[in-house]
Amino acid sequence: MAGSKDGTFAEKISPYLRQKMNERKDEGGFPFLDLQYAVDPAEAVDRTHEVARHYQSELHTTFEGRILKGVEKLYRRTLLVEPTTICAAHCRWCIRGQYETSTLSKDDLERIARYCGSAPENEEVREILVTGGDPLILVDRVEFLLDAVERYAPQVEVVRLATRVPLQDPRRIDERMLHALRPRATFRVEIATHINHPGELFPEVREAYAALQSAGARIYDQTVLLRGVNDNLDTLVELYDELRHLDIEAHYLFHCVPIRGMDHHRTSIAQGLDLFRRLVSSGMTSGRAKPQYTLMTDVGKVSLYEGTIIDRDDDGRVLIQTGYAYKDRLSWVPNWALPPTARVDDDGCLQVWYLDSDGGKAEA
Burial class (CB in 10 A: 0-12, 13-18, 19+), 292: middle
- pLDDT confidence of residue 5: 47
Question: Residue 238: pLDDT band by 50, 70, 90 thresholds?
Answer: very high
pLDDT digits (tens, 9 = 90+) for 313-341: 999 999 999 999 999 999 988 888 999 99
Flag whether pLDDT at 253 surpasses 70.
Answer: yes
11 or 306, greater pLDDT: 11
In the chain, domain spans: 15-309
| pLDDT for residue 291 is more than 50 | yes
Mean pLDDT of the chain: 92
| Cα separation values, 136 from 16, 23, 28, 144, 212, Å | 16, 26, 31, 12, 12
Vertex 193 angle, CA 258 and 167, to 5°: 105
pTM over 0.75: yes
The predicted pLDDT at position 86 comes to: 94
- How far apart are the C-alpha atoms of 258 and 53, rounded to whole Å? 9
Mean pLDDT of 253-277: 94
Q: How high is the pLDDT of residue 68?
A: 92
Inter-residue contact 192 to 129 (CB < 8 Å): yes
Measured in residues, the chain has a length of: 364
pLDDT of residue 101: 83
- Confidence tier at 349 by pLDDT (50, 70, 90): very high
The CB-based long-range contact list for 173-180 (8 Å cut-off, 24+ gap) reads: 173/208, 173/211, 173/212, 176/139, 177/136, 177/139, 178/211, 178/212, 178/214, 178/215, 179/143, 180/139, 180/140, 180/142, 180/143, 180/146
Q: Residue 109 burial (CB < 10 Å; 0-12/13-18/19+)?
A: buried
Q: Per-residue pLDDT tens for 76-85?
A: 999 999 999 9
Parallel, antiparallel, or unpaired for β 218-225 and 188-193?
parallel
Please tell me which of 12-16, 45-49, 287-291 the model is most confident about, judged by mean pLDDT: 12-16
User: 144-194 pLDDT, tens per residue?
Assistant: 999 999 999 999 999 999 999 999 999 999 999 999 999 999 999 999 999
pLDDT computed for residue 4 by the predictor? 46
Q: Is the pLDDT of residue 288 over 80?
A: no
- The H-or-E segment that residue 16 falls in is helix 15-22
What percent of the chain stands above pLDDT 90? 78
The CATH superfamily label for domain 15-309 reads Aldolase class I (3.20.20.70)
Q: How far is 61 from 71, CA to CA, in rounded Å?
A: 9
Provide the 10 A C-beta neighbour count for residue 182: 12
Each residue's pLDDT tens digit, 65-121: 998 999 999 899 999 999 999 999 999 998 877 677 889 999 999 999 999 999 999
Q: Which residues, including other chains, have CB under 8 Å from residue 277's CB and lie 6 or more apart?
A: none
Q: Confidence class of residue 56 from pLDDT cuts 50, 70 and 90?
A: low
Contact 335, 61 (CB under 8 A): yes
Judged on CB neighbours under 10 Å (0-12, 13-18, 19+), 240 is buried
